[in-house]
């Protein structure tokens, strides 16, 4: 996506605008629709900060590759998701090494450094050993994104120097403060977790509403486990019993949902508190609470919801 003439001509006289893109796993595809709507309104940011999936979208946007990302996610099916996310290794510090996903991002954006970006961008991560917020402002863009999306227990931590970094949603799910630190006078923030803990409901294997999500044929992890079962059948005798049990269907939450939802609860509570202190000038909250951790196949719906939520929030608002 390119800057519009109007936005470029007025950038020197209007307040410096920051865009804070929040964490939220697959729900982050709503960020794409939000950015589309902002650009249509002539509101293009001068600085961008992203946490977790917000770092992926924000980094691609800053690199001028958002259209490529949009095309890619709209083409995703469960087979693609399995290939990008599933790396059949015995868990050490995470279920997924993240190398395949990093390679996919690298294919889209190339080898680019954060300092080379024309649009200033920061990715937020968490220092696993100290619990401190880490704002990544140099080094490779792909490496910065990989660190910010390292959901504990799902992705292995990313090493940066002597530090081990994990998902930034643990400390700053909606990085308004990072945009302010970059000099933004006005900040538009996108929160993907609002209402998800309160409103979200699942159906168990008998179709009754409850707190445990069924691993249905249509769920993201259900499809991925089907793929795993089909493609590892020849190794079945060699698989230890715990792994066989892990690959079977149950009405209880699967490991991805347990870890993803746990992080979502934490992010929701932290975001609620931080947004009271680090108040954005405009807060956009797409209604994507029913989207599960790896449900990227619903990207089209989430993009449209992002557009809707942004349009509603922008009504009557101006810099």
Catalytic: which of 167, 191, 257, 295? Answer: 167
Is 47:18 a contact under the CB 8 Å cutoff? yes
* Dihedral sign computed on CA atoms, order 293, 296, 298, 300: positive
Per-position DSSP letters for 237-287, written without gaps between them: GGS-HHHHHHHS--SSPPHHHHHHHHHHHHHHHHHHHHHHHS--SEEE---
The string of pLDDT tens digits covering residues 87-131 is 655 556 666 777 778 888 889 999 999 999 999 999 999 999 999
Is residue 236 annotated as part of the catalytic site, yes or no?
no
Given 52, 148, 177, 219, the catalytic residue: 52
Q: What is the pLDDT of residues 190-248, one digit of tens each?
A: 999 876 544 444 333 333 333 333 333 344 444 544 544 444 444 444 445 554 455 45
- Domains of the chain in start order, with CATH, are 17-198+256-315 (3.40.1090.10)
Q: Is 167 a catalytic residue?
A: yes
pLDDT at 11 over 90: no
Percent of the chain with pLDDT over 70: 70
Strand partners, 202: 210
């Amino acid at each position: 996506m390119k800057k519009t003439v109007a936005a470029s001509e007025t950038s020197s006289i209007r307040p410096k605008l920051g865009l804070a893109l929040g964490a939220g796993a697959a729900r982050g595809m709503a960020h794409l629709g939000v950015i589309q709507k902002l650009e249509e309104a002539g509101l293009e940011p001068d600085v961008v900060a992203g946490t977790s999936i917000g770092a992926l979208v924000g980094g691609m946007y800053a690199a001028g590759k958002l259209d490529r990302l949009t095309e890619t996610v709209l083409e995703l099916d469960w087979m693609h998701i399995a290939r990008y996310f599933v790396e059949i290794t015995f868990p050490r510090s995470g279920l997924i090494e993240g190398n395949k996903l990093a390679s996919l991002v690298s294919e889209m954006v190339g080898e680019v450094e954060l300092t080379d970006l024309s649009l200033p961008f920061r990715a937020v991560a968490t220092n696993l050993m100290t619990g401190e917020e880490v704002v990544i402002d140099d080094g490779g863009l792909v490496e910065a994104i990989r660190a910010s999306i390292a959901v504990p227990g799902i992705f292995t931590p990313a090493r940066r120097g002597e530090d081990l970094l994990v998902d930034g949603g643990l400390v700053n799910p909606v990085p308004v403060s990072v945009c302010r630190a970059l000099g933004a006078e006005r900040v538009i923030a996108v929160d993907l977790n609002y209402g998800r803990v309160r409103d979200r409901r699942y159906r168990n294997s008998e179709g009754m509403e409850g707190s445990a999500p069924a691993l249905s044929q249509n769920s993201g992890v259900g499809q991925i486990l089907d793929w795993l079962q089909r493609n590892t059948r020849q190794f079945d005798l060699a698989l230890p019993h715990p792994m066989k049990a892990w690959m079977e269907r149950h009405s209880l939450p699967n490991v991805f949902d347990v870890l993803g939802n746990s992080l979502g609860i934490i992010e929701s509570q932290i975001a609620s508190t931080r947004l009271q202190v680090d108040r954005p000038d405009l807060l956009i909250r797409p209604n994507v609470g029913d989207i599960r951790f790896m449900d990227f196949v619903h990207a089209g719906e989430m993009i449209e919801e992002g557009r809707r939520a942004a349009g509603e929030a922008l009504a009557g608002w101006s810099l």
